[in-house]
Amino acid sequence: MPAIKNILAVIGDVKSGRTILQGTLDAARHLQSHVDVLHVRPDPVTSLPMVSEAMSGNMAEEMMAVAERESAARAKELRGLFDRLSGDVAMSWIEDSGVEGQVLAVRACRADMIVLGRPTAENEAAALMTLNAGLMQSGRPVLMVPATGPLSFKHVAVFWNGSPEATRAVTAGLAFLTSAGTVTVLRVAEEEWFAPTEDLEAFFAHHGISIAVVKVMPRSGGTGAALLAAAVEAGADMMVMGAYTRSKLRQLILGSVTGYVVQNAGMPVLLSH
């Protein structure tokens, strides 16, 4: 069984960082994993606003110095949070500098899974950029944790559409699936995404996993809303799904199911592209 031995959690500020760390610790205790906590300090040069050539060198240097002081203070505060939450889980602190998503893409190979927070109104743009980097550039699955906890992984819902992304998500989530008390496969009754489950059931049987298959009917709000509603109705406390399985054109026409789940999920979601 593929095990998750090392988890990489990415934290950028204290408010979201606390949520991410607490969710990561819940997952690490469940999986008996080590945790690396990564904080990326922004390059002061990138903190400068777009200005005219009239800005003096002294003014630019002062703005960079202010950005550097703020960055150092934030890193110190996050390190303090890390120290306070360290306890029964083996954890390591990693500090780097640059663009968060780019650093994550390079350093993700050290871990079996990445943990990120669900984007909120306060950090939506930056969080989405990091999430997309994790999904598209890291080669690792991403566990997106909600703002509420503690997290439980007793009942896992799997969104199945037969896509390569969904297949990779199932494999990436085996550590959670084999330890879950209940696994529910959600199959959307939609022409585009209708896929048989016989082979998936055989896969799970070979891993000793019993599943229930639930047919999800489309409803107002689209496929994403139907999936989340079905997961909640089934009593799931975690969801596993492939990310961005629709073509760009169909995402434009029908909307992104992944985007809807990212914006609205109230449970941890394991995503794989």
User: Per CATH, is 155-272 categorized as 3.40.50.620?
Assistant: yes
Q: Where in the chain is the domain with CATH 3.40.50.620?
A: 6-145, 155-272
Specify the pLDDT at position 251: 44
pLDDT at 1 over 60: no
Closest Cα partner for 114 from 48, 205, 218, 27?
Answer: 27
Q: Given strand 6-10, what is the order of strands in its sheet?
A: 91-97, 34-41, 6-10, 113-117, 142-145, 269-272, 238-242, 155-160, 182-188, 211-216
Query: Which region, left, alpha or beta, applies to residue 222 given φ > 0 means left and ψ of -120 to 50 means alpha?
Result: left
- What CA–CA distances, in Å, run from 122 to 13, 14, 126, 148, 248? 11, 13, 9, 16, 27
The pLDDT of residue 245? 65
Q: Which tops the pLDDT comparison, 37 or 252?
A: 37
Look at strands 6-10 and 113-117 and give their pairing: parallel
pLDDT digits (tens, 9 = 90+) for 44-98: 666 555 544 556 667 777 777 888 889 999 999 999 999 999 889 999 999 999 9
What value does the mean pLDDT take over residues 244-262?
63
Listed in sequence order, the DSSP H helices in the chain are 14-31, 57-85, 100-107, 124-137, 164-172, 174-179, 198-206, 222-234, 248-254, 257-264
pLDDT at 227 over 70: yes
Q: What is the pLDDT of residue 55?
A: 61
pLDDT (tens digit, 9 = 90+) per residue, 23-44?
999 999 999 999 999 999 988 6
Instruction: Summarize the confidence of residues 232-253 as an average pLDDT.
Output: 75
What's the pLDDT at 149?
82
Crossing angle (nearest 10°) for helices 100-107 and 124-137: 30
Instruction: Write the CB contacts of 29 (distance below 8 Å, at least 6 apart in sequence).
Output: 88, 89
For domain 6-145, the CATH architecture is 3-Layer(aba) Sandwich (3.40)
Query: pLDDT value at position 254?
Result: 37
Cα–Cα separations (whole angstroms), residue 37 to 8, 9, 21, 24, 205: 6, 5, 8, 9, 35
**pLDDT at residue 137 is higher than 70:** yes
CB count within 10 Å of CB 119 equals: 19
Q: What pLDDT is recorded for position 191?
A: 61
Average pLDDT, integer, range 162-191 = 92
Predicted confidence at residue 166, as pLDDT, reads: 93
Q: Compute the average pLDDT of residues 144-168.
A: 94
